[in-house]
Structure formats: C-alpha cells, structure tokens
C-alpha cells in the first residue's frame, strides 16, 4: 500500500490480491442507490445532499428534472442490486459479532430480496432485460438466480476488505444533517459510522461498482467530504478516516480530511447552492452534454438532444419551499 499525497491530505489505495475488473466510472452512478433513498425520505424544505449537488455539477438541467420536476426514472438491475447489497451489509451488523460470517451474510440475501422485489417495477426489470436480450443489454442476467448470485459475490467480497466480527458500528444508514449559518440545509445518509474509544470517527460507504480511475477519485470523495463536513459541524470532530469500499473489485479508498479542507469544501457547497437558487429563481437550468448523458433518462425532453423541457413547475417549486420569480403556469 503506497500512500499518495493529495494536497494537505493523504490518500491511500488498498489493493488486496484480487483480479482487477475493468473500471467504469459510470458503474458507480448506475449502481448507487443513495440518491433514490434520499428522494424516498424527502427533506422538510429545500436542502442539498451529496447526490443532488453532484447532479447539479454534472448537469443543471438534470438537477432540475430530478429535484424540481421529479420526473420518473427507470430503475436498473445494477441499482437494485446495489440496494440489495446495502440492505444485507446493514443487517449483517444486527447479528452478534461472532456470527457475522460470509455464510450468515449470504443467508440474509433471500429475505432482503423478498422485500425488495415487492417494490413497484422491480420484478418487471427481469422481464424487460430478458426481452431486450443479452445482445442489446450485455449486462442483463440470464435469470433472477444469476443476478442474485452476482449480488452474493459482492457480499462475499466485502469480507476481503473488512472483518465485521471486529467492528461495532455507531450508526448504519445514519441520517446526518446540519443547517449552516447562511441557512443552507445539508443532509445525507451515511452507510456506516464507526466511533473509536478515543472518539475518532470513521465514515464508511459501500460501493457496488469498481474503483474509479485516479482522475475520478476526487469525484468519489465529494460525497465523503460532504459527510465529514456535516459531522464536523454537528459534533465538532473532523473524521479521522473516510473509507470507500468498492465491492466489484475488492478495493478501498481511504482519505483523511483536515479542518482547512472542510472549510473550503463548505464554501464550495455554498457556491453550488447559490447557483441552484439562481437557477430556480429564473428557471434557467442549462443542459451540459457529456458522455454521462448516455445514462440519462431524460434525453427526450432535453434540448441537447433536440427535446423540449416541460414548462418550469413554478407552483410545485414554490410549494416545496423554493424562492422563484417565475409566474405559475397552469398546466392542462
Ligand atoms: S441528457 Fe445530458 S444534457 Fe440532457 S438533461 Fe440528461 S444529463 Fe443533462
């Protein structure tokens, strides 16, 4: 393990003796269920979460479609698998420490899947994938069993990264939120929070995709710095370690932020929020066409692809607590 300097902080990459799979940065985006979970547990007033901030940075119009218009998006098998694996790893820590074995974790898959498949649209995903065929969707599994087995592999690989019998989490799926002095509400859900006897904090996030290439590590750490900032502002403690566990290739990224960095990061979030507020006030959300558009569900209504966005839902935005100067448009 060779540490790499990143500014004032240290980034180390742990590479266990496992074959590296092809890294796909977008894999993280399609498989990460955090954004969906955040939306399901809607905030009381406009707030900023790591995924929504990342949306705005990626494409302001995508932010609008997801947060203001709340346009529906298709679920994906990768995203549902991410949700399933997160549920298993969360429940693993319900067991007494000595019973947190690979076998016990595998046994948690079936009941978690039984709950998940009852959610609207989930069971249909398999029919669609198989109808489209493996030629058009190479990632489509042959069967539910094959898909479940792939989830089981991710769970098994978790045990190459940590020994859960030696960890006693302080929180799982923990809501953290803080209102900054300027009124900006930050909120998000931490997969796992560990607190050492000396009070040191470790923030852990499970990723069902592969480790990002080095050029994209900063993007991966954005979410973790967000959590570190909220913890620092609420507990007065700078997290000792931010840890991302990539289950697809069995690698981990760890990072130790410092106070100065969190102060600068707070300013970055405030700047993003100001830009969002300006966009809401004027309805001016620009599309930003990138290769990530390939995974966007909204191309049909995106000007970058010849589409026309729906009228800005000023009434819904105002009802949700946004300040907008736009007139309310009556829809048919
Ligand atoms: S297709 Fe691309 S540019 Fe258009 S809204 Fe989606 S992410 Fe933005």
Tell me if 309 CB under 6 Å of ligand 1.
no
Q: What is the 3-state secondary structure (H, E, C) of 41-64?
A: CCCCCCCECHHHHHHHHHCHHHHH
Tell me if 296 CB under 6 Å of ligand 1.
yes
Tell me if 301 CB under 6 Å of ligand 1.
no
Cα of 141 from ligand 1 centre, angstroms? 27
Determine whether domain 4-24+46-270 maps to CATH 3.90.320.
Answer: yes
Tell me if 302 CB under 6 Å of ligand 1.
yes
Tell me if 298 CB under 6 Å of ligand 1.
yes
Hey, whose CA ends up nearest to atom 7 of ligand 1?
Answer: 293
Tell me if 190 CB under 6 Å of ligand 1.
no
Phi-psi region for residue 283, left (φ > 0), alpha (ψ -120 to 50) or beta? left
Residue 29 CB neighbour total at 10 angstroms? 18
**What number does the ligand 1 atom closest to the CA of 293 have?**
2
Cα of 26 from ligand 1 centre, angstroms? 14
Per-residue pLDDT of the chain (332 residues; tens, 9 = 90+): 333 233 333 344 343 332 222 222 233 343 344 444 555 555 568 999 999 999 999 999 999 999 999 999 988 888 999 999 999 999 999 999 999 999 999 999 999 999 999 988 887 887 765 555 554 454 555 678 889 999 999 999 999 999 999 999 999 999 999 999 999 999 999 999 999 999 999 999 999 999 988 777 788 899 999 999 999 999 999 999 999 999 999 999 999 999 999 999 999 999 999 999 999 999 999 999 999 999 999 999 999 999 999 999 999 899 889 888 776 555 44
The first and second tokens of residue 52, run together, are 């929504």
**What number does the ligand 1 atom closest to the CA of 307 have?**
4
Tell me if 304 CB under 6 Å of ligand 1.
yes
E-only strand ranges, the chain: 4-6, 9-14, 171-179, 185-195, 201-207, 241-246, 251-256
Tell me if 299 CB under 6 Å of ligand 1.
yes
Spatial contact of 197 and 204, defined as CB atoms under 8 Å apart: no
Tell me if 60 CB under 6 Å of ligand 1.
no
Residue ranges of domains in the chain: 4-24+46-270
- Give residue-wise pLDDT tens across range 296-330: 999 999 999 999 999 999 998 998 898 887 765 55
Tell me if 61 CB under 6 Å of ligand 1.
yes
Tell me if 57 CB under 6 Å of ligand 1.
no
Q: What is the 3-state secondary structure (H, E, C) of 178-239?
A: EECCCCCEEEEEEEEEEECCCCCEEEEEEECCCCCCHHHHHHHHHHHHHHHHHHHHHHCCCC
φ/ψ (deg, to 5) at 141: -75, 160
Report CA-CA distances (Å) from 87 to 42, 95, 114, 115, 177: 20, 13, 12, 10, 22
- pLDDT at position 269 is 97
Cα of 66 from ligand 1 centre, angstroms? 11
Cα of 62 from ligand 1 centre, angstroms? 6
- pLDDT at position 28 is 38
Tell me if 289 CB under 6 Å of ligand 1.
yes
Hey, whose CA ends up nearest to atom 2 of ligand 1?
Answer: 293
Cα of 71 from ligand 1 centre, angstroms? 13
Cα of 302 from ligand 1 centre, angstroms? 6
CA distance linking residue 285 with residue 280, whole number of Å: 8
How do 241-246 and 201-207 pair as beta strands? parallel
CA distance linking residue 319 with residue 50, whole number of Å: 23
Cα of 164 from ligand 1 centre, angstroms? 40
- pLDDT at position 40 is 52
The first and second tokens of residue 103, run together, are 């076998």
φ/ψ (deg, to 5) at 298: -115, 20
Bridge partners of 14? 252
The pTM of the full predicted model, rounded to 2 decimals, is 0.83
How do 185-195 and 201-207 pair as beta strands? antiparallel
């Amino acid at each position: 393990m060779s540490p790499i300097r990143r500014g004032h902080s240290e980034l180390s990459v742990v590479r266990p003796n496992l074959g590296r799979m092809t890294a796909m940065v977008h894999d993280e985006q399609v498989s990460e269920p955090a954004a969906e979970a955040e939306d399901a547990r809607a905030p009381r007033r406009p707030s900023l979460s790591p995924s929504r901030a990342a949306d705005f940075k990626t494409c302001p119009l995508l932010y609008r479609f997801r947060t203001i218009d709340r346009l529906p998006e298709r679920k994906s098998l990768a995203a549902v698998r991410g949700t399933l694996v997160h549920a298993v790893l969360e429940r693993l820590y319900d067991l007494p420490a000595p019973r947190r074995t690979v076998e016990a974790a595998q046994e948690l898959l079936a009941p978690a899947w039984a709950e998940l498949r009852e959610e609207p649209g989930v069971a249909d995903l398999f029919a669609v994938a198989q109808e489209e065929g493996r030629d058009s969707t190479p990632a489509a599994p042959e069967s539910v069993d094959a898909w479940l087995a792939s989830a089981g592999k991710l769970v098994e690989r978790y045990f190459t990264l940590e020994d859960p019998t030696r960890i006693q989490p302080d929180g799982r799926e923990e809501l953290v939120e803080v209102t900054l002095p300027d009124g900006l509400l930050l909120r998000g859900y931490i997969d796992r929070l560990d607190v050492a006897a000396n009070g040191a904090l470790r923030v852990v996030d499970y990723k069902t995709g592969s480790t990002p290439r080095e050029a994209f590590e900063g993007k991966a750490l954005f979410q973790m710095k967000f959590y570190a900032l909220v913890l620092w502002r609420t507990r007065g403690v700078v997290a000792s370690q931010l840890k991302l566990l990539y289950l697809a290739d069995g690698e981990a990224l760890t990072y130790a932020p410092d106070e100065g960095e969190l102060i600068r990061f707070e300013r970055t979030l405030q700047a993003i929020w100001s830009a969002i507020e300006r966009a809401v006030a004027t309805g001016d959300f620009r599309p930003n066409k990138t290769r990530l558009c390939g995974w966007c569900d909204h191309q049909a209504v995106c000007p970058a692809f010849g589409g026309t966005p729906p009228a800005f839902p000023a009434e819904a935005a105002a009802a949700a607590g946004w300040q907008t100067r736009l007139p309310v448009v009556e829809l048919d």
